[in-house]
Amino acid sequence: MAGQTTHRGAERALLEDFSLEMTGKDVAGLEEAAASIPPGTRVNVTFLGNEDLPMRVGAAAAVRRLGFVPVPHISARRLGSQAELEEFLGALAAEAAVEDAFVVAGDPAEPMGPYDDSLALIGSGLLGRYGIRQVGISGYPEGHPEIDSARLWTVLLQKCAALQAQNLQPTIITQFGFDVDPVLDWLADLRRRGVDAPVRIGVPGPAGVKRLLAFARRFGVASSAGIVHKYGFSLANLLGTAGPDRFVGELARRLDAADHGPVQLHFYTFGGLKATAEWVRKAAAA
């Protein structure tokens, strides 16, 4: 009984100060979910190719208006010029008082402007000039389908060093997965390499099984029959839904602060903001 109580306490602690993700088109969904989201929650706003600057800035402003902390994504390869980046950063500062951002290379195979990747964007020195104080970067516990492991580690360390040299606080947000084992191995490796930045482990919010697997294939996430069974759903029931109960519970049980450092959760809201926020609220209260 004492062990179960300790496990529940660890799970509740892990569910504190979680973050969420939304697109520029999800403002109505955020408004619907707002009552279920704790004030001050960090909400990431994606930078998709089918959205424009006013939509992205408007979404960040809505996050701030509703009492949350906007964390806009900045996609390096989707930026056509330095002027476009500065226009975006200026609008975010003016309309949403943004101090946090998440930088990614982005999907285009070839950059649309001067920034080849997120390291080049960080190296521009413009983030801090427009009031950004904390910068999220990507982590890949299961690797990247197009980048080898050695390169991923090299670039991650370079980005952390570049941010710290500019007095910016790095935070690492990982790709989502269905298996705790590679997450724990990657965290231990990260700390052995001397990185003490806080990490937010990517977790899919509750969603349809078919939808989860579609996103897994898109992002190169392992989804073999054995792994998805451990996660809590079956490939034979693609019409069902699944939540991260088992994943979060096992992660809470096995995390060790000495080996894994500061860890929180970042929810990818494939099944919607409200469904994810309500799952977190119920899980924390269980």
Tens of pLDDT along the chain (286 residues) come to 445 556 678 899 999 999 999 999 999 999 999 999 999 999 999 999 899 999 999 999 999 999 999 999 999 999 999 999 999 999 999 999 999 999 999 988 899 999 999 999 999 999 999 999 999 999 999 998 889 999 999 999 999 999 999 999 999 999 999 999 999 999 999 999 999 999 999 999 999 888 888 888 877 787 777 787 788 877 767 777 888 999 999 999 999 999 999 999 999 999 899 999 999 999 998 7
Q: Which residues contact 219 (CB under 8 A, 6 or more apart)?
A: 175, 176
The pLDDT score that the predictor gives to residue 275 is 95
The pLDDT score that the predictor gives to residue 236 is 67
The pLDDT score that the predictor gives to residue 232 is 80
Using left for φ > 0, alpha for ψ between -120 and 50, and beta otherwise, residue 206 falls in beta
The pLDDT score that the predictor gives to residue 164 is 97
Dihedral (CA of 174, 179, 183, 185) sign: negative
The pLDDT score that the predictor gives to residue 229 is 78
pTM score, two decimals?
0.93
The pLDDT score that the predictor gives to residue 3 is 52
